[in-house]
Chains A and B, each alone.
Chain A
Amino acid sequence: MGMSCKQASRLISDGMDRPLGRGEQVRLSFHLLLCRNCRHFRQQMQQLRSGIRRARNE
């Protein structure tokens, strides 16, 4: 069994703050391959970060 979206979202968040371990990376990539919701979630997290960066430097 792969990981759940709940676990994946947590790993995506963690991955923004620390390098993920190899095992974590593999399991997450596998989940992302199959899960569009989590791909969108990851994209949203990146947009959140870049939105803040852009805005705070204005």
Chain B
Amino acid sequence: MSASPEQIEAERPFLLRYARAQLQDQAAAEDAVQEALLAALEGRARFAGQASVRTWLISILRFKLVDTIRRQQREVATDLSEDTDLSDLDGLFDGQGAWQQAVRAWGVPEEGLLAKQFWQVYQHCAQAMPKRTAMVFAMREVMDMDIADICQNLSITATNCSVMLYRARMSLRECLELRWFQQEGA
């Protein structure tokens, strides 16, 4: 069993959304998707048919994305210093380290129905983060890479990585609370 060119092409919009979430750069995302689709077309005889076409394409795209991220990293690598300073989050806590503001329970958005909207809000919130932070978070949460993989790909330490993930989560939490869960009236 092999994947047909039509089947492969049909996944382009999905792959673009997926790539956009990692790269925050429309042109780079389109390039990565294009490369992945070409590679898939060339290698479509190798599609084993065990996974869905989409899953197979994602696995190809992930390699292209990691390549792109590495390249971007080299280009923007002005600041390779260790990022372990979390003082920017101090405002969230009082002198004793307790939350300044009560943390509310979020309502549960309806399954599926809101997934697309959630994605838009997430992308918006991710764009507000420093580029490197957003990149590490996307590698972890969108691409499901483990810490060791991320560290290796970006040449950063595990501590640096966990600091960036923590910062990303704190920042996304605030942004989502404002833009998503508030409107849910939860």
Contacts and interface: CB of A to CB of B under 8 A. Distances in A.
Interface of A: 4-7, 9-10, 13-14, 16-18, 36-38, 40-41, 43-45, 47-49, 51-52, 54-56, 58
Interface in B145-167: 146-147, 158, 161-162, 165-166
Contacts of B176: 48
Given A4-B98, A47-B106, A47-B108, A58 B115 contact: yes
Report whether over half of chain B's contact residues are helix, strand or loop; otherwise say mixed. Answer: helix
Report whether over half of chain A's contact residues are helix, strand or loop; otherwise say mixed. Answer: helix
Interface string B162-180: 1001100110110011000
Interface string B91-119: 01100111100111110110110011011
| Size category of the binding interface on chain B | 35 or more
Contacts of B47: none
Contacts of B96: 4
B115 A5 contact: no
Interface of B: 17-18, 21, 86, 89, 92-93, 96-99, 102-106, 108-109, 111-112, 115-116, 118-119, 122, 140-142, 146-147, 158, 161-162, 165-166, 169-170, 172-173, 176-177
A11 B97 CA distance: 14
B50 to A, nearest CB: 18
Nearest 9 pairs of A and B residues by beta carbon: A4-B97, A6-B97, A55-B119, A37-B103, A40-B103, A13-B166, A55-B115, A6-B93, A37-B99
Contacts of A44: 103, 106, 173, 177
Contacts of A43: 105-106
Contacts of A48: 141, 169, 172-173, 176
A13 B103 contact: no
8 contacts: A13-B166, A37-B102, A40-B103, A48-B176, A52-B122, A54-B118, A56-B21, A56-B142
Nearest to B143: A56
Contact of B122 (A4, A6, A16, A55): A55
